[in-house]
Amino acid sequence: MGRGNDAGRHVVWRQRLERFAGWSGTVAEFCRREGVAQPTFYQWRKRLKLADASATGGAAKGLPDAMRLADAAKQGRAPFVELSWAARAAVEIELPNGAVVRVPADREATLRVAIRAAGELGSRGQDAQPQEVSS
């Protein structure tokens, strides 16, 4: 069962929170007077604060970015976040002793040194220890 017009509820809760701003009593007293549950009051206050912050480009005070984004996503109004994924190609060299060396493909000098070292290790036999080679 639906909860009714969301825009209408936003208007009602904005008006209610404006009344609360002028209220001198406690949240519990205000909620009793308005006939709403305290958790609902806090939820709407947070929701509208996030909506206002999002509309003005500001952050909701006291809320970490991850919490603001998660809350916004739940409400179907998450901002677009541009992502880019650049997979780095790597060359893997399996040595005779079973060890695998991964070298970023864009590091040509390092790759040449690794290939040369692997070749030397292979020519000396499987039990040979690799020597330190600088690039």
Each residue's pLDDT expressed in tens, for the chain with a length of 135 residues: 455 567 788 888 889 988 888 888 899 999 999 999 999 999 998 888 877 766 655 544 555 566 666 666 666 665 555 555 665 788 888 777 777 888 887 788 887 888 787 777 666 655 555 555 554
**Residue 124 domain-assigned?**
yes
Q: Can you give the residue range of the structural domain that contains 122? A: 84-135
Same domain, 101 and 130: yes
Same domain, 17 and 45: yes
Same domain, 40 and 94: no
Q: How far apart are CA 25 and CA 34, in angstroms?
A: 13
What is the DSSP code (8-state) at residue 57? T
Query: Of 68, 55, 59, 64, nearest to 10 (Cα)?
Result: 55
**Residue 63 domain-assigned?**
yes
- Overall domain count for the chain: 2
Same domain, 89 and 127: yes
Domain boundary among 27, 53, 74: 74
Same domain, 60 and 88: no
Same domain, 32 and 60: yes
Helix extents (H) in 80-127: 108-124
Kindly report the length of the chain. 135
Q: How far apart are CA 30 and CA 36, in angstroms?
A: 9
| Global pTM value | 0.39
**Residue 44 domain-assigned?**
yes
User: Alpha-carbon dihedral of residues 106, 109, 115, 117, nearest 10 degrees?
Assistant: -140
